[in-house]
Structure 1
């Protein structure tokens, strides 16, 4: 069995996936003939099959790159082999996504295929001017670029950017996974995007290990499997959570599980549960046996388990491809029935009237940040627990502040502020101020970099884990540049004007990707600024304490001027958005309220920062005094005695000189 697993594993995966796709299409009616302008059976089945191959090849591409970046050593042949797998997978994805674009064109236009110039012009128009065609063209071009880069790039650090580009190939697929006019469109993008990326890393990582089995060898295999197992556990959790969120948006109620779409969801959930059980057995028993040398180099039972995992992964992949062509119980065209201008603009049902208590009772979860905050709290507390188990000290207040900061971040991105920020400029500005000032003031004293450097075990085989990547990023020239106090202050204050007085603001409102960029940008710029003032983690340069206070006061004065400019302004930001909501509120008055929030709410973190800087300054002086006293005790005031002797010598010299 171990000798044939390299061939049997991928073959089983592809065979089961294709068979599951055909069976699910037949059950759900996803490939049934259309009543009007039917494009033919080849096109109806070609779309889901081509998309299945796109998904599987994307998994091979992303999984192999993640494994190379996270688990493999550039000093060994395994590293180059993983990149070869990624390059081959990316090449297949290029062809498969191009085929998906072609079949999608035939499906939506019902234009019969021929070799005429007219057909080519229509196809070219589809992929260059129609949003659906542009999405598949972008996916194809990105996959082609990754193919070339996987052959050309062998630098370990540069591969991080190649991996990010590979993940970006899935973004157009996530954006077209839910009707733009339907309720829950933004939530669906986040859920589907997370689902695609982490499922790809999970499946592709396992497939890459299977293909590299002979190269790794028995001892090295256990090391790589242990690292992959951690990645797989994280992927399982994210895939399960995002899958549930996607299903809830499309099914609505439990009664809809009786529909064909619901039945396919049940099959996919069953496959996911089975994969979770496989992972638990692999993590808790088989890897341990292989580590202790209880099994052979191939680990017969382990490889049987791997083939079983690939069977269920193929089943889940095939059902997922068919689900994309199956009618959902919750109609995606519901957004066209919106009755208010606000619903027409946002595509979302209106929340209740924004009374103050609603900001604490309404929720609009952003799954991306819910998952990020959840893992941030878990890994931080796990690091603290590891330190305490080996007898090291870690201040409790740091953990408390870190958890509080991430809980506040989760609230801002998923609570009442997020529920109203699309409709009210004041709510948007409240979230902005919290992201750029309140959250960083809590997170920075948590010293996450210091904790990671102390708690994560270092790698000694040339590969890079969490500790190595974090320290590399912190000590990079780019990080040193943006962490400079002056640069951080310019980014912090200048971003306000650049964002609100350029098309970036509109992009953040109209595009979910723009919204996520906005949250990330203001969180990072706020963190860098606070880190330059009161940070504990190491940075290349810190200002003396008096200059820190001056920098804080100067930046906050600039910040207050921005708020006053909005308060006194008479023109609306995004008049065709906030001014067209028709929600019974005066948009200009609400905007001026937002300016007041920018001016006043920022004062509370400013005071907290000023007090913290002053306390650190006093403690620094106190520590320096204690250090000098201890030095004097050790040397018997040798420096003072030398200084007095020098003064005496000068005085004696003066008395002898006419």
Structure 2
């Protein structure tokens, strides 16, 4: 068993190197350029280092996610997993350093020296050129994560590190094939999703193979396999979706090209891995639990080792694919490009008209995947309650479903296509995301549903229920979720966003746009939760104060809208004013102010009406309670109150 645990990873690396060599030979990813050949060491070293980096990142990130979801924070296997994750992150940083320097040598083939001229070239590449900045940022983030992982050992610290991994993932995705050209949003979002969930899937598999067969560990093998299987199913679905999007972007119609063939080969390998996982879930985990076995047998250990070998081959093909020229050429907008192509990376869409709302799409894979998971897990929880005979109000399900669908449409529909080109439509998207979506999502009570549907862990590990409770009751969420704080964030951030460089950042950088959606949906959700929320959270204020908070929000929104309507200064003038769509940008901005004032207030009015109705129902319930208490004790409470008034009058 011990030999199988050690042999599997070694064979995976060797199989990956062999697959990488074959992919480079077939796809031409390591062929010498006609001008300024950096040498065979660089040409072959970059893909080898890329493969080792990707494997190390998968082991590090996949292990962290598995630890947070399936291991006890006070156990030996937790410490082993985090130690391995820290070591793997260090290996990834070293491998990426070679990737970064190799990328520099493909551009600058001057002899390596310690003089000022060579140093100036290094500085130019890693500071002034976007590709170099992304590579340097990835290296620094990996180095920082290595240091953090050496000291982070608590469950909360591990969870924060998992979140911090978004930084290198995003930087790597931004520097991938077509990361800075046409279809930028599709390319970066799909590659980001692909990287994250491939690492959860394949990296988690590596740790399962190392931990499941240990007799000196504290992990229950079948339970570990079952929990990993749940992660793998979700990861497989997202990887399949993001892989299809990536292939459509980069292959186009040339499905006979070497790039397309290698992409199909990689897909087939992922399907084989998915088949392994399905077989384990259906044929292995159940019998193991039924037999009461805590440690899997040699046959399963051999199967896991075989899976690791397939994983290594997949990583090798993926690294070779990353070096293979794509059929769809990456052409950076330059001379002869339209203003829209220079600013947004995409051609100018047709003039907007209401019919476009139904037949125009600009899919963002990131938000489409998030929306799909939000809807799937909610409906799965409702079905689980129904199967055990519990009821969940249909109105809550309908409200949540409508909110998720609206979120998906705002981030992938026609408005997402036009919001980059017209301020008025951008403001419409903003109002829907920040106000309409939360008003629909909050009544769905997702936390309450999760608490009822997800089983409580009793073995010291943390599952979905435990992590949700930890987040809801965290000091941070208690602070920002306080009604006064949530209201302040809701109204002040609107002004801060539009009258600071944050607005321009959200237009020029896809990361800024993602941040904008997260912030305004999140701040709107916290505000609505403080007013009409059902889920647990900070104590809600009396209904009278809730009405005051709503009226204050309406006043601030109206004042903001009037400021835009009467303003004569164009926001981000070198963006909206230079789009070349023939629209009067200042007039369009004033129309956007009208949208913020009028349409933007509709969800607030709905929220106010809902609050008044809840207030009336609360008063009715209180009157019923008082009447029932009076019937039980003969009006003792009222008599005591009158007696107190009499005593006060005699003084």
TM over 0.5: yes
Question: Is the CA contact (8 Å cut-off) linking 2:215 and 2:295 kept in structure 1?
Answer: no
Q: Deviation at 1:304? A: 2.9
Could you report, residue by residue, the CA deviation over 1:328-350 in whole angstroms, capped at 9, with x for unpaired residues? 11111164476421122111122
Aligned pair partner of 1:598 in 590, 596, 605: 596
**Structure 2 segments unaligned to the other structure (5+ residues):** none
- In structure 2, the partner of 1:196 is 195
Question: Is the CA contact (8 Å cut-off) linking 1:290 and 1:299 kept in structure 2?
Answer: no
Write the mapping of 1:79-158 to structure 2, written as runs, cut at 5 A.
79-114=78-113, 118-158=117-157
- In structure 1, the partner of 2:231 is 231
Query: Matched residues in 1 for 2:383 and 2:179: separation?
Result: 44
Write the mapping of 1:347-426 to structure 2, written as runs, cut at 5 A.
347-426=345-424
**Structure 1 segments unaligned to the other structure (5+ residues):** none
Task: Please state if 1:483 is matched with 2:469.
Answer: no
Query: Matched residues in 2 for 1:73 and 1:570: separation?
Result: 60
Question: Number of residues paired by the alignment?
Answer: 650
Query: Matched residues in 1 for 2:323 and 2:332: separation?
Result: 18
Query: Matched residues in 2 for 1:162 and 1:644: separation?
Result: 61
- In structure 2, the partner of 1:586 is 584
- In structure 2, the partner of 1:310 is 308
Q: Deviation at 1:296? A: 8.3
Could you report, residue by residue, the CA deviation over 1:189-245 in whole angstroms, capped at 9, with x for unpaired residues? 000011111111111111112222315659711111111111111111111111111
- In structure 2, the partner of 1:509 is 507
- In structure 2, the partner of 1:252 is 252
Question: Is the CA contact (8 Å cut-off) linking 2:557 and 2:601 kept in structure 1?
Answer: no
Task: Please state if 1:474 is matched with 2:469.
Answer: no
Cα 1:180–1:285 change in 2 (3 A) is closer
Cα 1:609–1:403 change in 2 (3 A) is same
RMSD of Structure 2 on Structure 1 (CA): 2.0
Write the mapping of 1:44-63 to structure 2, written as runs, cut at 5 A.
44-63=43-62
Question: Is the CA contact (8 Å cut-off) linking 1:64 and 1:208 kept in structure 2?
Answer: yes
Question: Is the CA contact (8 Å cut-off) linking 1:435 and 1:522 kept in structure 2?
Answer: yes
SS in 2 for 1:257: coil
Cα 1:243–1:336 change in 2 (3 A) is farther
- In structure 2, the partner of 1:38 is 37
Task: Please state if 1:291 is matched with 2:312.
Answer: no
Q: Deviation at 1:637? A: 3.0
Query: Matched residues in 1 for 2:291 and 2:114: separation?
Result: 62
Question: Is the CA contact (8 Å cut-off) linking 2:173 and 2:179 kept in structure 1?
Answer: no
Question: Is the CA contact (8 Å cut-off) linking 1:62 and 1:167 kept in structure 2?
Answer: no
SS in 1 for 2:165: helix
Q: TM-score, normalised by structure 1?
A: 0.95
- In structure 2, the partner of 1:616 is 614
SS in 2 for 1:348: coil
Write the mapping of 1:565-580 to structure 2, written as runs, cut at 5 A.
565-580=563-578
Question: Is the CA contact (8 Å cut-off) linking 1:178 and 1:185 kept in structure 2?
Answer: no
SS in 1 for 2:534: coil
Question: Is the CA contact (8 Å cut-off) linking 1:338 and 1:347 kept in structure 2?
Answer: no
Question: Is the CA contact (8 Å cut-off) linking 1:139 and 1:169 kept in structure 2?
Answer: yes
Q: Deviation at 1:641? A: 4.9
Q: Deviation at 1:465? A: 1.2
Cα 1:551–1:48 change in 2 (3 A) is same
Query: Matched residues in 2 for 1:268 and 1:118: separation?
Result: 42
Judge which range, 380-389 or 486-495, deviates more: 380-389
Q: Deviation at 1:435? A: 0.4
Query: Matched residues in 1 for 2:64 and 2:228: separation?
Result: 12
Could you report, residue by residue, the CA deviation over 1:109-155 in whole angstroms, capped at 9, with x for unpaired residues? 22334566644453344333332222222222222222222221212
Query: Matched residues in 1 for 2:332 and 2:124: separation?
Result: 29
Write the mapping of 1:510-589 to structure 2, written as runs, cut at 5 A.
510-589=508-587
Cα 1:638–1:429 change in 2 (3 A) is same
Cα 1:621–1:144 change in 2 (3 A) is same
Question: Is the CA contact (8 Å cut-off) linking 1:181 and 1:335 kept in structure 2?
Answer: no
Question: Is the CA contact (8 Å cut-off) linking 2:75 and 2:218 kept in structure 1?
Answer: no
Q: Deviation at 1:301? A: 3.4
- In structure 2, the partner of 1:436 is 434
Query: Matched residues in 2 for 1:647 and 1:115: separation?
Result: 92
Query: Matched residues in 2 for 1:613 and 1:338: separation?
Result: 56
Query: Matched residues in 2 for 1:514 and 1:643: separation?
Result: 59
Q: TM-score, normalised by structure 2?
A: 0.96
Aligned pair partner of 1:346 in 332, 341, 344: 344
Judge which range, 382-391 or 397-406, deviates more: 382-391
Could you report, residue by residue, the CA deviation over 1:77-101 in whole angstroms, capped at 9, with x for unpaired residues? 1110110110110110111011111
- In structure 2, the partner of 1:69 is 68
- In structure 2, the partner of 1:300 is 298
Question: Is the CA contact (8 Å cut-off) linking 2:9 and 2:309 kept in structure 1?
Answer: no
Question: Is the CA contact (8 Å cut-off) linking 2:547 and 2:611 kept in structure 1?
Answer: yes
Aligned pair partner of 1:456 in 454, 457, 461: 454
